[in-house]
Each structure stands twice: as structure tokens, then as C-alpha cells.
Structure 1
Amino acid sequence: MSRPVPPFPTLNAPILDGTVRHLYVHVPFCPSICPYCDFHVLTRKSGQVEKYLERLEAEAAWLASQYDIDLDTVYLGGGTPSFLRDAEIGALVGSVRRHLGWGAAENTLEINPGTVSPARAALWRELGFDRASVGVQSLDDATLKFLGRQHDAAGAREAVTTLIGAGFRVSGDLITAVPGQPLDSDVHGLVDLGVDHISAYTLTVEPGTEFARRGVTVHEDDERAGFERTEALLTAHGFARYEISNYARPGQESRHNLAYWNNRTYLGLGPGAAGQYPLAPKSGGTLTSRRTNPHLHTWLTGEQGEPEPIDAEEYVTDALFMGLRLRAGLNLNDLSRRSGLDVRARYAQVIAAQVQRGWLALDGAYLRATPAGWWVLNRVVTDFLEA
């Protein structure tokens, strides 16, 4: 439910670009379900992918009829998009291109190391993908076995080498705080392979997962040690931490994910996919609309998620939650311009209190979280919500 905007200072009418420039496509199929995974994923069954592709085409056509679209980035996530057979991923890309176009700046494919071969890498490049996000997770066989991964360290190394040789910009995923993990050699190994981007996520045990049923736990001391050690190692190798969990060599940041962290509009295509959509002018104080698609079986019937209107207050708090994940933080002047709400005046007391605690820093127009603030970011954002 939207909250009414209180009588705090506002600017002129909100200014939001009505053109959608980013597309996320969800492919829910996986060869197996990892014990830590709580995403909408499932193993494929006979005829299921064909139905998925038919429904995807129809949804892409519908999105094209609803919005002004000029794509900068496309991201195929999952699930395991690279698990699709060659003809299937070709059909998916064809549907996107026919109805929505293709990214002018960056097109990412999430890839499982076990699905890579030189021929497949060449096909993915021909289809228009230029960035690969590879689920390496570790380069230690014992750690990979604990995580339930189907590939081994040698397979991960070969996959990354093959993709770089095919001309991809490669990002390697790494899970930290795993019991017994040789973190230093994992980080050094990924860097030595030649990746230009690393996403390092702490192992999280979510309710309903196999790890939760087994009673696997992650200790905060291990989480913090992995958090700090990963940054120290990657910084020494010339990587910059530009977001809480993401590191890149200069110019190799994920353009698509930066759209999320900067609270831009984007399309969500496929079962379980979320999108943030622009609205027509004079929409009763609403700036954007958020919609999350239902899971596969319901989505295949043609159902879509209900749109949730986002007003200026919620738009700003969403932007703060995402933007404070970035090392650079967010520009309050730009956020005020986009939302129509004078953010600095509206949240002056909260900002001052957080700066005094050492959780936030205000540098000119830029508000950013300190390293201490990153550890309590949910608390920081809650204070904004309760203001």
C-alpha cells in the first residue's frame, strides 16, 4: 500500500525518464538444485521448456505494447540460462530481439561451468552476449562438494578460460564464509584466470533450503572475516569494491546491476521476474510501479503479478536501500530531481543522526554508507522508513 507523502518540502513535478533501458529475463531451469539456493528454480521436465518459450514470446510482445523501450542492457539470470539447449536459447534471444530489442551497452548470460564448451561459447557470442557471469563459487573441490556444485575446480578453470578466449567479459561468482574454505587461494585463483569482475557473496542459509534442514549455520565472525579478507586481497590485485559484494577492475562494473542499485526502471520477463516500470504523467502522486511475476506453473497460465504503485516516499527509501550498497553512495540532488521530494530536507534528522553514529557520511551532495554502516544497513534504512 502506498503511503501518503507528508507535508515536507517538495520540488517541482517529478522527473523520471519514461523510457525503459534495462531488461531482466528469468530462466528457472537448473540441472540440479543447490542446497543453499532459495531462488525460483526447478529441474526441467518434458515439454516444460517449450511451454516456457511460448509464454515468454507472448509476454515480451505484451511488454513491447505497454512501454517505450530502448535497451542498454539485457541480463539472462536464473536458474541456469546456459542449461538451455542451443536451439532453446536461440529461440529465447529471438523473442527478445523481435519484441524488445537488444542491449546497446551490455548483454549478460549467467553460466554454469559445466555447460561450457568452445562451440557453445562461440554460439552465445554469436547470439549477442558479451558478458558472462560464471557460477564458480570456489576453486576448491572440497568446498564445491559441500556447496552441492556439480562441477569441480578444474572444470571451473577451464570454463572461465574458454569464455575469456571467446571474447567475453567474465565475472566470477564466489561464495565466502564456507566452513574450511581456502579463501585466499580461491581469490588468487580467480584473479589469475583473468576475470575482470568478481561477485563475492557470504554463504546465507535461508529457510526452506536443504542447508536449513541440515542445520548449517554461518557465524558472524566468519562472515566478517571473509568480508574483510576478500576486499584486502582483491584491492591488492587492482580490483575496486564498488558495491558491498562486487569488485571490478576499472571500467568493468556491471552496467545492468548498476541500474538496480541506482533505482532505475527495468523490465522483468519470465516466471518469478520482478520489474520496476514507469507510469504515465499525472498518476496521482505515483512515480513507478513494481510487479513480480508468479512462479512457473501459474505464469504459464497467463497470470501476471499485481502492480504495486510506488509513491515519492517509497521511491526514495528504495533508492536509499539500494544506493547505500554502492561505495560511492547516491547523489541526493539527483534523487530529489527524480522523485520530486526534497530528500535532504525530508530526512535531515535521520541523516544527521546516522552521520554522528558513524554509519553514514555526507560528502557534498553524496550520501554513502561507511564500512561500519554496511554491517547495519537494514537498521540504517529502517530509520529512514520510520522517520
Structure 2
Amino acid sequence: MVSRGTRGYIALDWETQRFVFLKDAWRPFYDGVEKEGDILSKLNKEGVTNVPTLIVHGDVCERDGTEQETETSKLSPAYRAEKPPPVAIKKRKIIPLRTTRPTTTVAPRGQEVSADIRLAPLPASAPAVGDPFTMASSSAKASRGVKRPAHGGSTDDLRRPGSGIRHLVHYRIVVAEVCLPSTAFLSGRTWATVVFECLQAHQGAYEMCKIVHRDISVGNMLILPTLLFGSEGVIIGVIWSGILTDWELAKDAGVMFARQPERTGTWQFMSLRCLMYPTLPVTIPDELESFFHSLLYNAVRFLVHNFSNIHTFIHNYFDDTSPDSNLVPSTPQAKEASITEGRIKFKGKALKFGGRDLHPMNELVERLLDLFRARYRVLRWETEQETAWVAQDDA
């Protein structure tokens, strides 16, 4: 098994006779890290929009009730056999659908998992399962620091050979929405709208639940096609909405210490600050910058612009992991130059979307770059001031 072994399936909920999405993965077992289903339950309860609707979730167990967990990690000197008390499993109860559109009749009995389940209408077509990125935050090249054990451990244990092996638990989660990948958009306007609605989901999660996503990427922004019905029940159109998914790395904004020592996020879309200072916690400005990098990524891949060698630009701006003097992956130089200078340039040419007529994406990118450039100017000034104060104290 590589990394968390995440797999996705379109499944059939037998009680409701509706298609749902089932995610099968091996979640890292760290103290204080919430399950993705628990986080989605909070978001659904508070009415956060544009996030998946939780149906059911839980760890996968053997017939005797023990959790399915990785065996190799038990050989680590940092592993502790103690387990937390088992979580009570509630019987599921099907909640009537809350919708103004014609839907399938729902059975009156079942299990309860969420206080308010709103099943989305079926999409026009099946999505592609999985995302195209293999350079995740858990990649050996992109991670720094020492892994913490599942149930604590001394500093000496963490330094011993084998202590970096992650302890994983088999986990499954089912959500109501069956979505399309972010690459399925048909126009720049649709893609910008999808990103904006995912941004609204991120805002709602923070303002209503104090939760930060911490893994903004094109693979975690999906498209939900919703059928639009007329007064006589005839389909008159399809609305494409953005869904911000994969909340497994989300964290309470009030927790300021690192619960997982690995670099959190997807390398291609991490903010410049997080790449340069991986030990610092992810902040809201970092998340907003990740939204920008995600917007730019699909825009460069699928919209018309003046760059000819797209593959090379994608590598230099997003994928580059050239090691520094300490053999640690360094920040892509193209990304650093673009964010700090406020212009995206490649081989001496500034990026321009559109053919003869300039595309509205240009103005959006320019305005966002101005904001990020201002942010890093302020951060640079603060660093210089702090350095000067330290020098005065030493003197």
C-alpha cells in the first residue's frame, strides 16, 4: 500500500435507492486528530454550504470488533499498544429529504448519523474517481520532521530506527454527493464560479465552526451538477456548483500546535510561506493563496493563453522540488518570483489569457497577485523589524 491507499467508489444506498460516494482510506492515527466524518458532521449541523453531506462513517473492524490497522507500524519503537475507549456506534436513521426539486421517495426507517441530511440530485454523468496528483503531503520528498507515535512516546523513541513509520487505521466514509472532477468545467467563468463557491464553503467552515481545511487543491474542489426543473417538472437546465471536499486534514483554528509532524497540504498548491517555513501552522491567508494557485493551475491547463510550453511552466511553477543545500525540497522559483513580484512570467513573457480579446481571468489574476504581493511585503518588513530588535537586544 502506498501512502493512505485512498480509493473512491460510486455506491448504491440500498435503503434510499440513491447513488452515493464511498471513500475508502487508511487514516493516520494521531492524538487529537478528528475523523473526516466528525468534521463533516459539524459542518452539516451548522449549515455550512458547498460541502459534502455526511451519511455514515467509521473505522473498518474485523469480525471480533478490533480495528483494521497497519501491522508494520507496530514494530516501531514509538508504538504504544494502548487504545482509546471505543466510540459508540449509533443506529442509522434515514431523514426525509429537504428539497424543492422532485426526488426519490425515502424509506421511513434506518440509521441516524447526521441531524439534517440533504441528499443532492443525481449528477448528469459519473465522475472520474481519484485525482491526478501523486506528490501528496505525505510524500517522502515533501515531508520533514519526525513522525509522532499514535499514543505518545519519548524523544529517545522518536530518534530510534523505524520510529518514522506511520500507524494507520482503515476508515470509510459515505457522502451523498456524487461529483465531477474540477477539470470538467466548460468555461473560465464556470471554473471561477466553482472556486468562489468552494471559497464560500471555506469561509463558512471558519466563521461558523472555527475549522480550517488545510489542503486546498484542485483535487479537493469538485463540481456538482444539479438539475434545474421548471414549473411542470421538466428539466430546463443544469447548475454546476462547487463542492469543497476531503476535510481529513482539517483542524480547529484554536489549536496552535502541530498535531501531525508532516508538512500539511498538497505541494503544488501550498502557499509560499508554508513552503518556506514548513513548521509554521497554516493560516487563513495561506489558504486563500492556495485557492489562487488552484485557480491558476486549471486556468493555465484548459484556457487559451499566450504560453506555448505549458508542461514546462507547470513543472517550474507547481511541481518543482529541486533540493536545497540541505537536500530538502525547496520552493519552486517560478512561484516565488510570481507571488513576490505580482506578475506571472515565463521565459520573459507575462501570462495573458484569451486570444484577440482579453479574457476576464486576466483582471482577476492581477488583482489577486497585488494582494499576495502586498502580504509578502508586510511579512518581509516584519521579519526585518524582528531581526533588528534581536540585534539591539544582543548588543
Tell me the TM-score normalized by structure 2. 0.25
Give the structure with higher Rg (CA): 2
Per the normalisation by structure 1, the TM-score is 0.26
Greater share of helix: 1
Q: Say which structure is richer in strand.
A: 1
